[in-house]
Amino acid sequence: MTEAPETTPSRRALIGWGGAGLALGAVAAGGAVAMARTGDDVVPAAAGTGAAIPFHGERQAGIATPVQDRLHFAAFDVKTDDRAEFVQLLKDWTAAARRMTAGQSVGEGAYGGLAEAPPDDTGEALGLKPSRLTLTFGFGPSLFEKYGEAFGIADARPEALAELPKFAGDNLDKNRSGGDLCVQACADDPQVAVHAIRNLARIGMGKVVIRWSQLGFGKTSSTTPEEQTPRNLMGFKDGTRNIAGTETDRLEKFVWVGEKDGPAWMAGGSYLVARRIRMHIETWDRTSLQEQEDIFGRDKGEGAPVGKAKERDEPFLKAMLPDAHVRLAHPDSNDGATILRRGYSFTDGTDGLGRLDAGLFFLAYQRDPRTGFIRIQRNLALDALNEYIQHVGSALFAVPPGVRDKDDWWGRTLFGKEA
Amino acid sequence: MRPARLSAVAAAATVAALTAVTGCTEKGSSTGGERVVNVTSTDDKCEVSKKEFPAGHVELAIENKGSKVTEVYILFPDDRIVTERENIGPGTKQTVTAEVKAGDYTIACKPGMKGDGIRQTVKATGKGAPAKRDPRLDKAVAAYREYVQTQADETLPKAEAFAKAVKDGDIEAAKKAYAPSRIGWERTEPVAESFGDIDPKVDVREDGLAAGQDPATDWTGWHRLEKALWQDKKIGDREKQLADQLITDLKDWQKRVGKAEITPTSMANGAKELLDEVATGKVTGEEERYSHTDLVDFKANVEGAEKAYELLKAVAKENDPALVTELDKQFGALNTLLDKYRADKSSYDFTSYDKVGDADQKELSDGVNSLAEPLSKLAAAVVVK
């Protein structure tokens, strides 16, 4: 089956049409990660091995590499206008990230140092495996607005890094939106992901502050299609047609910024859209099965598109209702627009009214948000799913290319002299 | 205010007698036999190899031969802690060293890590010679001791003015005198806390009362009166009596504070603790929940921390110049930020904290974290290497 759905942006994402595709995760280790959510089909393989994902590479890890089980995502605001101090922070962060992704503690460790000094590392990841931790770093549009002059990067702002437009139905909380910088920490062990963000935040104190952060569990899309397709909190398979880590051609076409796209410092990078999408869980749960399946355009059990038998059967969009989520989000409905989804479910307890504060923390990587998320999200204005979801947080980041070796650092192509 | 546990500073402060207490498993007993006390802890015994040793450097070579995790303390006769080592597992050995003055001490083993422990009385004899330290640090300690005493001396008249207003039944005057009466206390709070018994009497909040304490009869001090003035809006006989009690307790503080055990390490840790107080109590508006005078306490905490830092700065600068640069910058930034909340920089008339919006509270919180993180490294920068 496999249809097209990969493209889908937001809500869909959350919702997921299930389908997805296939991809397979590239990184070896990864693969099989289990998605806890479904229980019986969990394939603990790679997750269970606790292996490390290489930190160095042409691209940053955490995009096309296999999706881990857990997320801690943090947006930071910069508090220094001193370029040298900021660059030093990027180097310090990179050094810490290099160690943590290898399963090592930061600095001089969590114990054994001077008794009078607090340890460099906070210690809660001692004894835990690397757990496929990836740390993926990006710059937000506000960094260029606030510090473009001070840092001498005003002219380097990519055109693609314009603030996202307002979309129909948005109800954005500024305390869950934006950010000058981001770090996406994904790991199979939540404690490893939280440890990474906590230690980076601590290293950054005085230079950067956390603006907001989000925990996620149960990936809602995978880049490893040989695995069971994950389900979102609405109970539908999500990401059947997502771009796989092995699909080099589609990655080049839809995810990685090309040499000629400009600016040069972003070549090999990608753009990340993050959306906190709250689900009206209780009303959804009271919705009839027929309506639920009509809204998605797939059946709930198998995940097959309307009129088809299997999840990966090619969808026939016209068989779906005009406002079905999969139909509206499908590349065929969006001039081919396709994005790589990497979102997670979240449940931040309950709200003051006793309702689950739950939904999808949608993360999508793309070559250009204008032809990716923005294109698709606009098409979702009439999505039937909108009755059951609300976008409450939003952010966009330019994710630079990978850290190549031990002397390289996050953002060098933007801040390094040779860039 | 802080919970009834012994604060870290308290522990450090009491340790004062010692110059540098180093815990840890160390390489052998380089100091030689007479200064090493072997302590063998079992589930029902705490054996010491000698009951007398020369004052000065002493090393406890601890072995846990019992079945439970244990901890070992050296205590002053009044139970203040000289030094301690926790979490000593069955079958393991640990070493703790300390510099002690001549006098009587107690060594206590606590198998299972609870209760008063199994105790042995020991004696440090002779004059002993505390390890040498940088004379600038001795001057810093002396200057800080003087500062602490001055703060107490200057607080008393202000507290008496506050108490008088309460006793006169003048709510408005009492409200006005409340926050100023606390400034000297807030500047030096970790030292006061090192005594253990004064802070729970004068600065406890209702939620800080121990289990079994009744707010109606056991809650005393500033915050009890704060609630009467701002929340209940009335002064009765109980409040008048509590005003007198506050003065009595503060006089006790004034009398004892100059003799507190103070070391460079406890000064540095005390500075960090003052910022911790801000981070956990003031930034959240919990400390002054009725009067909303949190920013006055906030400023006083920062001033007290800065005083300790300034006194230690010369030594810290030699050991860690980058740290001093960062601390200067962050103290400056936080003070500048606080100045936004008062019209006149010489006044302690700060914006009421219930009028400080969420975004501004976050900015204050970020400023505190930016200062407290490097401040946590100050103690290591003044330790004699």
**Chain B interface residues facing chain A, Cβ-Cβ under 8 Å?**
22-24, 265, 268-269, 326, 329-330, 358, 362, 366, 369-371, 373-374, 376-377, 379-380, 383
Instruction: Look over chain A and give the mean of its residue pLDDT values, rounded to a whole number.
Output: 88
Kindly state whether A84 is in contact with chain B, defined as any CB-CB distance less than 8 angstroms.
Answer: no
- Residue B147 pLDDT grade (very low, low, confident, very high; cuts 50, 70, 90): very high
**H/E/C letters for each residue in chain B?**
CCCCCCCHHHHHHHHHHCCCCECCCCCCCCCCHHHEEEEEECCCCEEECCCEEECEEEEEEEEECCCCCEEEEEECCCCCEEEEEEEECCCCEEEEEEEECCEEEEEEECHHHCCCCEEEEEEEECCCCCCCCCHHHHHHHHHHHHHHHHHHHHHHHHHHHHHHHHHCCCHHHHHHHHHHHHHHHHHCHHHHHCCCCCHHHHCCCHHHCCCCCCHHHHCCCHHHHHHHHHHHCCCCHHHHHHHHHHHHHHHHHHHHHHHCCCCHHHHHHHHHHHHHHHHHHHCCCCCCCCCCCHHHHHHHHHHHHHHHHHHHHHHHHHHCHHHHHHHHHHHHHHHHHHHCCCCCCCCCCCCCHHHCCHHHHHHHHHHHHHHHHHHCCHHHHHCCC
Number of Cβ pairs < 8 A linking chain A and chain B: 37
More confident residue, A324 or A114: A324
Rounded to whole angstroms, how far apart are CA atoms B85 and B70?
9
Residues 6+ apart with CB under 8 A from B104: B77, B121, B122, B123, B124
At A37 the pLDDT is: 29
Tokens describing residue A153: 């990067």
Q: Which residues of A touch B332 (CB under 8 A)?
A: none
Kindly state whether A206 is in contact with chain B, defined as any CB-CB distance less than 8 angstroms.
Answer: yes
The pLDDT of A344-364, averaged and rounded, is 95
Of A115, A118, A175, the CB nearest to B24: A115
Q: What are the domain boundaries of chain B?
A: 1-129, 133-385
- A3-17, A302-316, B23-37, B39-53: least confidently modelled range: A3-17
Q: What is the secondary structure of A179-237 as a DSSP string?
A: -SEEEEEEESSHHHHHHHHHHHHHHHTTTEEEEEEEEEEEES--S-TTSPPPB-TTS-B
At B30 the pLDDT is: 39
Nearest residue of A to residue B370, measured between CA atoms:
A206
Q: Examine the pLDDT at B248 and tell me if it is beyond 70.
A: yes
At B195 the pLDDT is: 82
Is the ipTM of this structure higher than 0.90?
A: no
The interaxial angle of helices B294-319 and B321-339, nearest 10 deg, is 160
Nearest residue of A to residue B269, measured between CA atoms:
A116
Could you give the C-alpha distances from A208 to A119, A136, A153, A165, in angstroms and in order? 20, 17, 18, 26
Residue A288 DSSP label: -
Q: Examine the pLDDT at B19 and tell me if it is beyond 50.
A: no
At A300 the pLDDT is: 96
List the 174-203 stretch of A: residues with Cβ below 8 A of B: 175, 202
Q: What pLDDT, in 10s, does the model give residues A142-173?
A: 999 999 999 999 999 999 999 999 999 999 99
Is the Cβ pair A118, B366 closer than 8 Å? no
Backbone phi, psi, residue B182, to 5°: -100, -10
The pLDDT of B92-112, averaged and rounded, is 85
Of B358, B370, B383, the CB nearest to A116: B383
Is the Cβ pair B369, A117 closer than 8 Å? no
> Which DSSP helix (H) or strand (E) runs through A84?
helix A83-101
At B112 the pLDDT is: 86
The pLDDT of A120-127, averaged and rounded, is 95
Q: Examine the pLDDT at A419 and tell me if it is beyond 80.
A: no
At B299 the pLDDT is: 97
Of A79, A114, A202, the CB nearest to B373: A202
At B10 the pLDDT is: 41
Q: Can B1-129 and B133-385 be said to share one CATH topology?
A: no
Is the Cβ pair A117, B366 closer than 8 Å? no
At B1 the pLDDT is: 54
Q: What pLDDT, in 10s, does the model give residues B273-304?
A: 999 999 999 999 999 999 999 999 999 999 99
Is the Cβ pair A205, B377 closer than 8 Å? no
Residue A71 DSSP label: E
At A200 the pLDDT is: 98
At A13 the pLDDT is: 35
- Residue B101 pLDDT grade (very low, low, confident, very high; cuts 50, 70, 90): confident
Is the Cβ pair A206, B265 closer than 8 Å? no
Q: Examine the pLDDT at B88 and tell me if it is beyond 60.
A: yes
Q: Could you give the percent of chain A with pLDDT greater than 70?
A: 88
Is the Cβ pair B379, A117 closer than 8 Å? yes
At B98 the pLDDT is: 76
Instruction: Look over chain B and give the mean of its residue pLDDT values, rounded to a whole number.
Output: 87
Of B24, B358, B373, the CB nearest to A206: B373
- Residue B129 pLDDT grade (very low, low, confident, very high; cuts 50, 70, 90): low
CB A230 within 8 A of CB A38: yes
Q: What pLDDT, in 10s, does the model give residues B334-346?
A: 999 999 999 999 9
Domain B1-129, second-level architecture: Sandwich (2.60)
At A354 the pLDDT is: 92
Residue of B373, B377, B384, B385 for testing the chain A interface, max A β-carbons within 10 Å:
B373
At A50 the pLDDT is: 85
Kindly state whether A115 is in contact with chain B, defined as any CB-CB distance less than 8 angstroms.
Answer: yes
- Residue B168 pLDDT grade (very low, low, confident, very high; cuts 50, 70, 90): very high
At B60 the pLDDT is: 87
pTM here is 0.78
At A39 the pLDDT is: 31
Nearest residue of B to residue A85, measured between CA atoms:
B326
Of A118, A175, A206, the CB nearest to B330: A206
Kindly state whether A116 is in contact with chain B, defined as any CB-CB distance less than 8 angstroms.
Answer: yes
Q: What pLDDT, in 10s, does the model give residues A47-100?
A: 567 899 999 999 999 999 999 999 999 999 999 999 999 999 999 999 999 999
At A20 the pLDDT is: 35
Q: How far is B237 from chain A (nearest CA, A)?
A: 41
Rounded to whole angstroms, how far apart are CA atoms B17 and B56?
10
At B132 the pLDDT is: 62
At B199 the pLDDT is: 93
- Residue A417 pLDDT grade (very low, low, confident, very high; cuts 50, 70, 90): low
Nearest residue of A to residue B366, measured between CA atoms:
A209
Pick the CATH number of B133-385 from 1.20.1420.20, 1.10.580.10, 1.10.10.10, 3.40.50.1860: 1.20.1420.20
Rounded to whole angstroms, how far apart are CA atoms A287 and A278?
17
At B128 the pLDDT is: 59
At B7 the pLDDT is: 42
At B258 the pLDDT is: 87
Q: Examine the pLDDT at A252 and tell me if it is beyond 60.
A: yes
More confident residue, B57 or A328: A328
Q: Examine the pLDDT at A393 and tell me if it is beyond 90.
A: yes
Q: How far is B318 from chain A (nearest CA, A)?
A: 17
At A193 the pLDDT is: 98
Q: Examine the pLDDT at B2 and tell me if it is beyond 90.
A: no
